[in-house]
Amino acid sequence: MNRLITTARALPTPEPELTVAYTPIRLEMPDRPPLALRLTAPAVGDALPIVVLSHGYGPSNVIPSKDGYAPLAQFWAERGIAVIQPTHASSRVGGLDPDLPDGPLYWRERVAEIRAILDQLAEVERQAPAVTGRLDHDRIAVAGHSFGGHTCALLLGARFEGKSYADPRICAGVLLAAPGRGGTDLTPEHATRYPFFDVDFTHLHSPTLVVCGADDTPHFTHRGPEWHADAFHDAPGGEALLTISGVGHGLGGIAGWDARETDREDPDALEATRRLSLAWLRTRLSIDDTAWPQSQVALEQNAPSIAKIALAR
């Protein structure tokens, strides 16, 4: 019971159930140290759908790692989803040397890390005995915040320089305050520093929920908060756009409670982000076909001030 939540209580969500967590799980990768993961999953139940949660590149030392984003990971896991969190190569606390040629962001390596997780799900289960045989390898989604959204967009089908990084094992995705179009949509400085932001969303066909903060102020571009919605407008798979009112890039606090990434701490906005993204995932991953439609109705009728949903036509 969170006494700080008021308006978002009108949005339906399942009651939390007991979870188990394993950390660190380590997966071998060629020519580099092992990839460290956290797995948080329901303590009971079989054929659990999987979400791989890709962290951003924020200012904190530990939040951009397997140990961040507890407000999202724990919430989703308590309600039926197995959440896997890698410590990406870009992580300050546990990543690769930022001075190497692909550092510090390692956008290619981040994609390779999520592929490695999907390749080694059996090994993940071996190192997490309480979930052995309980994960559904055919129901996998990805979710990414900020730079993690760039990573997930590529895995969902967005292309860079005409090359596809899509992984057919991924059936859906959630892009949370993800970068928009690159190239001329960036400031000249950032277009030079981050050429890999110039992705083409028109090949992204996997069903995707795009989540934005209405008051986000992206410093990469001369545009406003609508820049973060580009994937919804450009991608054939852009199924829905969820805009959270009154908050910016941190969406009320998804990266961590009292964290530097949380530009504005807003318990109601955070709860709306958690409940509505969960509802979309529960419907998309065939847990509950009614979850997303019911949440849309509840938002419109009982809590319209907290968020807006636009659906693809």
**CA atoms of 234 and 198, how far apart (whole Å):** 13
**SS3 call for 207:** coil
**Which secondary-structure segment (H or E) carries 195?**
none
Segment 109-120, tens digit of pLDDT: 999 999 999 999
**SS3 call for 212:** strand
Q: Which domains occur in the chain, in start order?
A: 7-311 (3.40.50.1820)
**CA atoms of 74 and 16, how far apart (whole Å):** 9
Percent of the chain scoring above 70 in pLDDT: 100
Cβ within 8 Å of residue 189, ≥6 positions away = none
Segment 23-40, tens digit of pLDDT: 999 999 999 999 999 999
Q: How confident is the model at residue 264 (pLDDT cuts 50, 70, 90)?
A: confident
* Cβ contact 52:86 at 8 Å: yes
Token representation of residue 103: 């550092």
Weakest mean pLDDT among 189-198, 257-266, 271-280:
257-266
pLDDT value at 2 more than 90: no
User: 3-state SS of 26-40?
Assistant: EECCCCCCCEEEEEE
Taking CA atoms, 13 is separated from 113, 140, 185, 295, in Å, by 31, 21, 38, 8
pTM of the predicted protein model: 0.97
Segment 250-263, tens digit of pLDDT: 999 999 987 888 88
